[in-house]
Amino acid sequence: MDGTIINKSSLALIAVSITLAWAGAGCSQSGAAQPSSGCSLAPQSLPATGQTTSYAAGDDGDIKAGAPLSYQDNGDGTVTDRNTNLMWEKKDQASGGLHYWNNTYAWEGKCSNSSSTLCGTDVDCPSGGTCNAIGGGITIFQWVAQLNTPPCFAQHCDWRIPNVKELQTIVNYQTYLPPVSTAFNNNCTSACTVDGGHNTQACSCTQSAGPSKGYYWTNSTYAPSPLVQPPGSMLAWGVLFGDGDVLSAGKTDHDYIRAVRCGFVR
């Protein structure tokens, strides 16, 4: 990871299986989470960890709690998790492209017309200001906005940065370097591409090393961070796709990112 990780904490997957079902029209509340448009409304299941090897009676590999990991390659540069119904962006090795697995981004920037105002995109800045990523380049929020620029990646214009629990659901603890199922790490060869056009070489990559050591950002801010000034300016959560750890890192660090869509959102 680019920079020093200031704080570390492992998060366990939720201990009980939760199934969420959308009950249809007439059930929405103002401000409540709604199913994303055009996404599966099937019930969601808590994925298992992926661990199938048992080292002691009663351990995870013995009990195998949760729904077995299951993914669908959509043939357009995306992968759908059959348990969570989340659709994930594939990463590739097309150097310089939007989906390049070695691209790194800062979580936040500063406004051009207010050096004390932190931002994700220009909309966070006073009128007329632009958001400039700390350390150069663009922020993770400016990057995902490019995926949502028409005609949009894989013809979907509602891509977003995953939260910390969403990103951890694709970790497969049966393996490491990277700890993911093959749907997220196969046919990853030099110059393979992902463009959502149904016309590219099949390719799916997950970085487990590189300049950021396999650390992928989430949009979740580290809870104690609001205690600093300005609030929320210091740390955010991410997942280390070397061994599956969940860590917090400085928002000025430049790290990897993978987009997601679907699920229940405001």
Can you list the alpha helix ranges (DSSP code H) found in 190-257?
Answer: none
The answer as to whether 53 is a domain residue is no
Domain with 143, as residue range(s), is: 1-15+70-266
pTM for this predicted structure? 0.86
Overall number of domains in the chain: 1
List of residues 6+ apart from 196 with CB closer than 8 A: 76, 77, 78, 153, 154, 155
Q: pLDDT (tens digit, 0 to 9) for every residue of the chain, 266 residues total?
A: 544 443 433 333 333 233 333 333 233 345 667 778 789 888 889 999 999 999 999 999 999 999 999 999 998 899 999 999 999 999 999 888 999 999 999 999 999 999 889 999 999 999 999 999 999 999 999 999 999 999 999 999 999 999 999 999 999 999 999 999 999 999 999 888 886 555 555 789 999 998 899 999 999 999 888 888 888 889 999 999 999 999 999 999 999 999 999 988 87
Q: Which residues contact 150 (CB under 8 A, 6 or more apart)?
A: 157
Cβ 221 vs Cβ 9: under 8 Å: no
Whether 51 maps to a domain, the answer reads no
Domain membership of residue 64 (yes or no) is no
Q: What pLDDT, on the 0 to 100 scale, is given for residue 264?
A: 85
Is residue 77 included in any domain, yes or no? yes
Q: What pLDDT, on a 0 to 100 scale, did the predictor assign at position 162?
A: 98
Q: Is the dihedral of CA 216, 247, 262, 143 positive or negative?
A: negative
**Which pLDDT does position 197 carry in this prediction?**
55
Q: Is position 208 within any domain?
A: yes
Give the pLDDT confidence score for residue 169 in this predicted structure. Answer: 97
